[in-house]
Amino acid sequence: MEFALSEDQRLLQDSINGFLDKTSPLDTVREAAAGDPAVRARVSEGLAEMGSAALFVPEDHDGLGLGVLEAVLVQEALGAAVAPARFFGDVVVAAAFRWDGDRGQQSDYLPKIASGEAKFAIALSEVVSARDGAGVTASGGKLSGTAMFAMDASDATHILVADRAGMLHVVAAGDADIKPLQTIDRTRTFHELTFDNASAEHLPNAAADDLVRLARLLLAADTLGASTAMLDKAVAYAKERKQFGRVIGSFQAVKHMCAEMAAEIEPCRALVWHAAHAIDTQDDEAPLMANLAKSHLAEVGTFVARTSTEVHGGMGFTDLVGLHFWFKRIGVNRQLLGSPEAVRTDAARLQGWAA
C-alpha cells in the first residue's frame, strides 16, 4: 500500500509553494504586518486565482471538489511562508455547507464561495471557551452578543458564527460591529464581533464541533509548515555563521539542536496527513486524530520555535532575520481554538477517559 502523496497532490503543493515564494517573500510579510491591507488583498486574490477559494467546494457547485488533505497541504504552505492571505475561513465555511447545509443553502452559498463573491469570517472560539461577557445567543432568527478572535473578518462579506448552544448561523458582515484585535501575530487579522439583534440564517444541520475539529487540524498544518520553515532557516544559518574560524553547524551542540528539531517535526507530518485522510474517508477515529494533531503540533511547534531561535543566537531576535514572524504565528496557533491541555481533554473525552 502506498502511504504517500499522489502526483496531483505533490503538484498542488509545488504550485502553492512556488506562488508564495514569488508573491509573499519576507518583505511582503513585513508590509502586511505593518498594517497595509492592500498587501493581504493582493496575496489573497492571487491565491484565489489559483483556485484556493474553490478548493473544498464540490464540483457540482462550481468548485474543485478536493478534500481535507489537499486543504491541509495548502495550509501547510501558508504557514511555511507566514503568508498574509485568506484561506482558512474559505475551507471551514465550505465544509459547513458541504457537509451539513441543506440543498438550498448549498446552492446559494457554495458557488459564491468558489467564485470569491462571498468571503466569510469565522467566529467559533466560544464553542471552545468564552471570556467573561463573551458569547452569542440566538432568538427568533436574531443574534446578540460578542464573539472574540474571529478570523478573516477584515474583508468579509459574511460571518459564520457559533452561538452558546453550539448552533451555527450566517450573518451579513454589515450587520455586525467589527473591531480589530491585536495579537502578537500580525500576519493574520483577528476581530471582536458584536451583534445586536442581527438577522441571521440558521444552519439547521451543521455541527460546530465538526468544524472546530477541522479548524484545529488546519491550525496544526499551519504550525507544521511554520516549524519546518524555522528548521530550514536554522540549518541554513548554521551552515553560514562562523565562530572560531568554523561554521557553527560543525559544532556538535548545534548539530544536536537541528537533529532534535527534525526528529520532532517529521512524525508530525504523518500525523497531520493521516488526520486529514481520516476526515476525508469518514473514519471513526477522525475526530480524535484532529485533536491529537492540534495538541501535539502545538507542543512541537513551541519547541522548534525556541530551538531555532537559539541556533540563530542574538540574530534570532532581530527583524533583519524576521524569525519572529514564524515564532509568533506558532504561538498564536497554540492557543487558538484550545490550548494543548484543553484539546487533549477533548481527545480524552472522545475515548471515554474523561467526563
Do 134 and 221 sit in the same domain of this protein? no
Q: What is the structure's pLDDT at 2?
A: 61
Residues 11 and 74 in one domain: yes
Domain hosting residue 178, numbered range:
120-203
Distance CA 342, CA 125 (A): 13
What domain count does the chain have? 3
- Taking 3-state DSSP, the helix, strand and coil percentages for the chain, each rounded to the nearest 5, stand at 60, 15, 25
Rounded distance, CA 338 to CA 346, Å? 10
Question: Residue 156: inside a domain, yes or no?
Answer: yes
User: Where does a domain end: 80, 95, 115?
Assistant: 115
Model confidence at 75: pLDDT above 60: yes
- Specify if 32 maps to a domain: yes
Task: Out of 88-102, 148-162, 195-209, 225-239, give the one with best mean pLDDT.
Answer: 225-239
Q: Same domain for 124 and 213?
A: no
Residues 105 and 128 in one domain: no
Is 92 contained in some domain? Answer: yes
Instruction: Give the pLDDT of residue 348.
Output: 95
Instruction: State the average pLDDT over residues 140-165.
Output: 93
Do 164 and 297 fall within a single domain? no
In a domain, 321, yes or no: yes
Does the pLDDT value for residue 263 go beyond 50? yes
- DSSP structure class, residue 3: -
From the number of C-beta atoms within 10 Å of its C-beta (0-12, 13-18, 19+), residue 160 rates as buried
Residue 179 reports pLDDT greater than 50: yes
Q: List the alpha helices (DSSP H) in 81-186.
A: 88-100, 103-115, 125-128
146 and 183, same domain (yes or no): yes
Q: 3-state DSSP call for residue 176?
A: coil
Say if residue 98 is in the same domain as residue 156: no
CATH number at residue 156: 2.40.110.10
* Residue 90 domain flag: yes
pLDDT greater than 80 at residue 206: no
Helices 252-280, 208-240: inter-axial angle, 10-degree rounding: 150
Cα dihedral 136, 86, 110, 199 sign = positive
CATH number at residue 331: 1.20.140.10
Question: Domain boundary at 203, 238, 266, which?
Answer: 203
- Across 3-12, 127-136, 268-277, the highest mean pLDDT is recorded for 268-277
Classify residue 2: in a domain, yes or no: no
pLDDT at 1: 46
| Average pLDDT, integer, range 246-258 | 94
What average pLDDT does this structure show over 154-172?
A: 92
Residues 234 and 329 in one domain: yes
Closest by CA to 129, choosing from 343, 350, 351, 353, is 343
Digit-coded pLDDT (tens) for 80-130: 999 999 999 999 999 999 987 788 999 999 999 999 999 999 999 888 887
- As a whole-number percent, the residues of the chain with pLDDT over 70 amount to 99
158 & 242 share domain: no
Do 80 and 95 lie in a common domain? Answer: yes
Among positive and negative, which fits the CA dihedral 160, 163, 166, 170?
negative
Asked if 18 contacts 81 with a C-beta cutoff of 8 angstroms, the reply is no
Domain boundary among 115, 141, 157: 115
Model confidence at 286, in pLDDT bands (50, 70, 90)? very high
**pTM attached to this predicted model:** 0.95
Report the percent of the chain where pLDDT is more than 90. Answer: 83
- 45 with 147, same domain? no
151 vs 183: CA distance, rounded Å: 12
**215 closest CA partner among 38, 88, 308:** 88
Q: Are residues 259 and 296 in the same domain?
A: yes
Question: Quick check: is 179 in a domain?
Answer: yes
Q: CATH code at 37? A: 1.10.540.10
136 domain-assigned: yes
- Alpha-carbon span 205 to 152, nearest angstrom: 24
